[in-house]
A and B are shown apart, each in its own frame.
Chain A
Amino acid sequence: MTPHPVLSPAALELVRRARRERSTGMPAWRLEARHGVALVVVFLCACGLAQAQVDAGHPSIAATIWKWTPLLARGFVFNLAISFLAMAIGTIAGFFLGFAQISLLPPVKRGAWLTTHFFRNAPWLVLLFYCMFLLPFQVTVLGVTIPIPDWSKATLGLALPVMANVSEIVRGAIQSIPTAQWESAASLAFNRRQTLWMIIVPQCVKRMLPPWMNLYAILTMATVLASIVGVNEMMTQTQRALSAENRPGLLLAFYSYVLIWFFVYCYPIARWTVRLEARYAVDQ
């Protein structure tokens, strides 16, 4: 229920944090501006160190990074594409699974619970490998051979844990609506389906949005896992750039650079999530 109105701001923050962690089922991380500052400092130091090691005749560190940036950016776009797709697939599937978790039919309910918890607790990387190596590289339908590219398998592999987490977000939000709302709907002769769609779910959207956005940010950062299975995303491109340059001094500078890209993308999402949470906490 609502936090007590006279709680101090610090206690409120704790309540919010606890709720967040319950809804995502994992410790909440929260990007802050100082994390970005720290990243930039590390990046600049790494560049400075690398610059000191540059031999005469080689281009400067800044020029090297700039040279590779278009390639890295193309990889980053791939990360984003995978994150959008995996989030879309995972959200749709997760909604069905979440509703199945509150089904009145025991087998459906139990099956959904099992599926949710299996995919939610399995390591993301293991799921990724499963999808990579268990799915065929092509399928033949009616004599037409359709190749299944690696990136689509990676997307599916990432969509599975997203699905399971969305399922829990949906179930948690529905169950967080006071039972009095169900009772009052039943007294007005609404049936279960009407009650869910007209009364319960509309009240859930606000509660689901912040953990859902949190999940998206986590997913975006997890897309680099796809590099391990050979998808051409930013991490893979970075490794290529580094091996082409063959200068060990560049390692730290390049990886900090990649981190900054992800920070710049995820930080606004994190801030927006915090704002939404604060707004909804007041509304309730």
Chain B
Amino acid sequence: MSGDASTALAPIVELVDVHQSFGSVDVLKGVSMRVAKGGVACIIGPSGSGKSTLLRCINGLVPIRSGSIRVASFDVHRLHTDAEKIALRKEVSMVFQQYNLFPHKTALENVMMAPIHVLKENPAEVRGRALALLAKVRLAEKRDAYPGELSGGQQQRVAIARSLAMRPEVMLFDEVTAALDPETVKEVLSTIRELVGEGMTCILVTHEMRFAREIADDVHFTDDGTIVESGPPAELFDHPRKERTRAFLSQIL
């Protein structure tokens, strides 16, 4: 039992004093956060506060200037070659606001591509897993549809299945419902909710406050490149300590 507790507490993602800048613009000014294995972290905050950049640093899409990022067994800030970053990205998958499915491939092919070509797995096995994943996101009947023939919510669920097919340790969600209409938001959120229920480690950048309150273990409020305040959702939403957090929440709640 004590063993369980310690693995639950061991952080699988740990950021320490991360700085990042584009040219002369400082995007991240010393961000630190920890996410336990199986934990769910939600990052909220105004546009331009560096939320998406933060996610992109975690899977090595954007290099950081200083500080350290540790994900599973990888020191992300020390990965320089493509091969090293590819090893990391097999463990950390990302879902984007604009889905970014490959438009020339069907839903099923989108899900199957990376496991076959990147993980070099047996295509027949991958196919079985991909079909199961499409069924899981309730799109089994759309497997032969091209992204252009799917609604936004359906495309986003295919994108989630595509990421899951890599069997990642950590999933990053970058405002995945921001481009969707309110009705389809629900179907995507319930897919994420199921994932969280299965113990997937998730880091979400989101504007869905009710959803964040419901599923997050920790909520991080970012503004101007720093984490202003962090804490369990009940605490942060109901009793924000910082004035800036209160101001932000009063604007949107």
Contacts and interface: CB of A to CB of B under 8 A. Distances in A.
Interface of A: 180-181, 183-192, 194, 198-199, 202-203, 283
B114 A188 contact: yes
A196 to B, nearest CB: 13
B89 A187 contact: yes
Interface string B93-109: 11010101111100000
Residue among A180, A189, A190 with max Cβ neighbours from chain B (10 Å)? A189
Contact of B103 (A189, A194, A203): A203
Given A186-B85, A188-B113, A198-B117, 9 more contacts: A180-B98, A184-B100, A188-B166, A189-B114, A191-B82, A191-B83, A198-B113, A203-B103, A203-B104
Contacts of B114: 188-190
B61 A194 contact: no
Instruction: Assign chain B's interface to a size class.
Output: 20 to 34
25 contacts: A180-B100, A181-B100, A181-B102, A183-B61, A183-B100, A184-B96, A184-B100, A184-B101, A185-B102, A186-B61, A186-B85, A187-B59, A187-B89, A188-B118, A188-B162, A188-B166, A189-B90, A189-B166, A190-B86, A194-B117, A194-B118, A199-B102, A202-B104, A203-B102, A283-B148
Contacts of A183: 61, 96, 100
Contacts of A192: 82
Nearest to A180: B100
Nearest to B101: A184
A181 B87 CA distance: 20
Interface string B154-194: 00000000110010000000000000000000000000000
B177 to A, nearest CB: 17
Contact of A187 (B87, B94, B98, B148): B94
Interface of B: 59, 61, 82-83, 85-87, 89-90, 93-94, 96, 98, 100-104, 113-114, 117-118, 148, 162-163, 166
A190 B85 CA distance: 10
Contacts of B166: 188-189
Contacts of B113: 188, 198
Contact of B118 (A189, A202, A283): A189
B145 to A, nearest CB: 15
Nearest to A202: B104
A113 B51 CA distance: 37
Residue among B103, B162, B163 with max Cβ neighbours from chain A (10 Å)? B103
A218 B61 CA distance: 43
A180 B96 contact: yes
A194 B116 CA distance: 12
Nearest to B95: A187
B96 A190 contact: no
A194 B119 CA distance: 13
Nearest to B102: A199
Contacts of A191: 82-83, 86
Residue among A186, A199, A202, A203 with max Cβ neighbours from chain B (10 Å)? A186
Contacts of B98: 180
A186 B104 contact: no
A203 B118 CA distance: 20
A203 B166 CA distance: 23
B231 to A, nearest CB: 29
Contact of A190 (B94, B118, B148): B118
A190 B117 contact: yes
Contacts of A180: 96, 98, 100
A128 B67 CA distance: 59
Nearest to A201: B104
Contacts of B93: 187-188
B94 to A, nearest CB: 4
B90 to A, nearest CB: 5
Contacts of A187: 59, 61, 89, 93-94, 96, 163
B50 to A, nearest CB: 17
